[in-house]
Amino acid sequence: MKIEDFVAVSGLSGLYKMVANRNNGLIVADLDTGKRKFAPARKHQFTPLASIGIYTNDGDTAELKDVFRSMLEKINDTPPVSTNSSAVELGDYFSEVLPEYDEDRVYTSDIKKVIKWFNFLHERSLLSLADEPSGEEE
């Protein structure tokens, strides 16, 4: 699973792969068609998935890739609930995949977004349980 290349772009639905960085925006590629487009920084905000963390009870954050890994490990026993589910069902599901998440600071809309992104990437077989090779090996 290599989520470092994926970005959420405000004003555009879904996730995109960052192709190139320009001083006035990003060139992103649609994950389904591969079609590239320029997204100007004046119009859009960019959120790399690798920079997202979920608040935990110990005051720290869990990286999104760790949450996705947990969701992937438990997909057979506890499949993701629908994003149209009630807040209680969404919270119960999230408690299964990330038991230490901070219920006061992680909103229902955040849980919906994580599930939506997970489903989007999983449907396209872009998630795996294999660890990425680290560049720190000597």
Sequence letter at residue 76: N
Asked whether the predicted pLDDT for residue 132 surpasses 90, the reply is no
Beta strand pairing call for 61-63 and 53-55: antiparallel
Nearest to 65 by CA among 132, 15, 17: 132
Q: In this predicted structure, what is the pLDDT of residue 1?
A: 53
Average pLDDT of the residues of the chain: 90
Q: In this predicted structure, what is the pLDDT of residue 107?
A: 96
> Which carries the bigger pLDDT value, residue 137 or residue 5?
5
Q: What domains can be seen in the chain, in order of their start residue? A: 3-48 (2.30.30), 53-123 (1.10.10.1650)
Q: In this predicted structure, what is the pLDDT of residue 70?
A: 94
pLDDT tens sequence across 70-103 = 999 999 999 999 999 999 999 999 999 999 999 9
Mean pLDDT along residues 41-66: 94
Mean pLDDT along residues 24-47: 95
pLDDT band at 11 (very low <50, low <70, confident <90, very high): very high
DSSP 8-state symbol, 131: P
